[in-house]
Amino acid sequence: MANDFLFADEPEEQAPQHNGSWKILIVDDEPEVHAVTKLALSDFSFQGKNLEFFSAYSGTEAKKLIETHHDAAIILLDVVMESDDAGLIVARYIREELHNHYVRIILRTGQPGQAPERQVIVNYDINDYKSKTELTAQKLFTVIMSSLRSYRDILSIDNSRRGLEKIITASADLFSSHSMEQFIDGVLQQLTSILGCDDNALLVTSSLVAGNIHENTDPDKLVVFAGLGEFEHQEGRAVSDVLDHTLMDAFHQALRSRSIVYRENYLVAYCTSKFTHGSLLYVSGLPTLVNETQKRLIELFSQNVQIAYENVQLQHEIEDTQREIVYRLSEAVEQRSIETGNHVKRVAFICYELATAYGLPVDEAEKLMFASPLHDVGKVGIPDGILNKPMKLAEHEWEVMKTHSSIGYEILKNSKRAIIQAGAVIARDHHEKWDGSGYPAGKRGEEIHVYGRIAAVADVYDALRHRRCYKSPWTAGATLAHMESEAGRQFDPRLVEILKTRVDKIEAILTKYPDEE
């Protein structure tokens, strides 16, 4: 290497306190370049992080190096190595094949005429072009500093973009527990990006269950609701099992003082709102002292996250209340029959088991489960003398009994609620038969709504397995044999086959929810 590759003397500075490092890849076929570059930047520090160097001596080695260290901040890339354009090939490989648009590429050359600067800047996605002879220690310091600032800003923008994507995705279905976790995860990502800290963040709360909104003054009983970095996949665990003693002490202090506690390079923010007091936000890796603007942002964030979380809890409480009302009203209808117990509840869980095995999406299976208790709501229109007659119904009585399907459909059909609409379909179709001999419309095969087909299997299986005013309970074997004999006539054959493979799980449902004496 030419002896005129010189660096100006730099004043000695006290070594900073480091918090991580920036990866720098040096790609050059001259070992002296590697040594001198590392020496010139040995005391470099940016945002409390020093530099970590990795070396490659050819374009081929450089490709492998960047594949391994995809999170490199800067690559100092020689143009001429094993070929006259080896460095340019590497630059194109990084951008076009690896699609790495984050790393800052600084092209260095000892032969500027070999790769003219104007042509290279126009044709290749590089960030700087320097002649080796002009890179004194001061200029190298300057180019590294400016490149790291660019890299930092690019990462910050990208973190913000990814956080916004999560928030936007979650906003479509914010009031389901999964989307709420995704929403808070995205907001945590936004906050860590805005504060310029690392990816370790944590939100813990006193309650993960709807309807369990209360104050909790014991931080040891808090549980993880969402986490990033080292706290990822810790959801549901007790905070005392996740954090070390020092962090737990900060959590105790934040909860006692109901404020934000700042310590060294992390903070613990107490989250409060109108309804509850018991959530804490932890963010680590703060690069500098948090200014007043950032403190205000954290304060607003901690309040808004708690309010959003409580809105989800309240929404779940409303949904649970609606479902319980459906169960209670359905059981009230069933109470007119002297032999009833937990029939509607068992039918609901059997429907879910059959629906998921049949291939319905989980949300459809859940809708069917919550709506199925309404399958016999039309019995409110049937006289007690017919409904509870302990012997075979006369023909005219049977015709009256059959009207309960249509009555149930008429009661429910005009609702704008998805569960009630599904209940109307089930009430109408659950007595239709696969061969067309059912009622009220004589539908056959797949003309019968899948909800009705599934509810029919669940309803009959449970009815046969339990006492009725006109019969004693059947054994599981006898019930299954009857269902098989009716496959293709009364029932969808595919559903009967599914029933046979799930009979153990269905019997477990019957055991869990027995009829009350």
Could you tell me the CA-to-CA distances from 27 to 32, 61, 107, 128 in Å, in that order? Answer: 12, 8, 10, 15
Q: At which residue do the structure tokens 């009959």 appear?
A: 460
User: How many residues are recorded in the chain?
Assistant: 517
Which residues partner with 471 through β-bridges? Answer: 468
Question: What are φ and ψ of residue 25, in 5° steps?
Answer: -100, 125
Q: What is the 3-state secondary structure (H, E, C) of 166-180?
A: HHHHHHCCCCCHHHH
- Contact in structure between 76 and 65 (CB atoms under 8 Å): no
- Contact in structure between 466 and 343 (CB atoms under 8 Å): yes
Rounded Cα distance between 204 and 227, Å, is 9
Which residues partner with 138 through β-bridges? Answer: none
The one catalytic residue among 379, 413, 443, 512: 379
- Contact in structure between 422 and 366 (CB atoms under 8 Å): no
The DSSP annotation for 319-383 comes to HHHHHHHHHHHHHHHHTTSTT-SSHHHHHHHHHHHHHHHHT--HHHHHHHHHHGGGTTGGGGGS-
**Strand 277-284 vs strand 201-205: parallel, antiparallel, or unpaired?**
antiparallel
Could you tell me the CA-to-CA distances from 368 to 177, 420, 440 in Å, in that order? Answer: 20, 10, 21
49: annotated active-site residue:
no
> Strand, coil or helix: what is 306?
helix
> Strand, coil or helix: what is 66?
helix
Could you tell me the CA-to-CA distances from 114 to 57, 93, 109 in Å, in that order? Answer: 19, 20, 9
Could you tell me the CA-to-CA distances from 301 to 158, 270, 308, 310 in Å, in that order? Answer: 20, 11, 10, 14
- Contact in structure between 17 and 69 (CB atoms under 8 Å): no
The DSSP annotation for 425-469 comes to HHHHHTT--TTS--SSS---GGGS-HHHHHHHHHHHHHHHTS-BT
Which residues partner with 444 through β-bridges? Answer: none
Order of strands across the sheet that contains 223-228: 223-228, 201-205, 277-284, 266-272, 260-263
Residues taking part in catalysis: 379
